[in-house]
Amino acid sequence: MRWYWKLLLGVVAVLAAAAWVRYGWVFGEGAKAGQLNYVVRKGYVFKTYEGKLIQTGLRAQGASLSSYEFEFSVADERIANELMARSGDQFTLHYKEYLGALPWRGHSKYVVDSIISAEDVRP
């Protein structure tokens, strides 16, 4: 019966380590720049802040203009409120990338943790 508890403890330890790697370990981090499309607060049980940044650029094969969308979550309410107040402006956002999303952290595996720079866009 003693081997059973050792096996069970080993399985629980492996599952806990796998869950930490999947949801707690920061896989990568970086910065994205573009025009902020929107930031909204949504969710049924866990209210989270979700946003979209539109990055513009040129394709490699031609001179056609293409658009790239960066969908992200925001964990800090203060940062989310600042982004919501300035929708449509140019931002450079710092983010952390996780291997999986948690419901209370947001719907995306990309979590914005700071604003590097912001510029007003006037039509």
CB 98 within 8 A of CB 25: yes
Q: Using the predicted structure, report yes or no on whether residue 71 has a pLDDT greater than 90.
A: yes
CB 31 within 8 A of CB 92: yes
Please give the Cα distance from 54 to 71 (Å, whole number): 9
Structural domain spans, the chain: 26-119
Lowest model confidence (mean pLDDT) among 49-58, 76-85, 106-115 = 49-58
> What CATH architecture applies to the domain 26-119?
Beta Barrel (2.40)
- List the Cα angle 118/62/89 in 5-degree steps: 15
pLDDT of residue 73: 96
Q: Using the predicted structure, report yes or no on whether residue 88 has a pLDDT greater than 60.
A: yes
Lowest model confidence (mean pLDDT) among 37-46, 61-70, 73-82, 86-95 = 61-70
Is 94 or 4 the better-scoring residue by pLDDT? 94
Average pLDDT value for residue range 86-97: 93
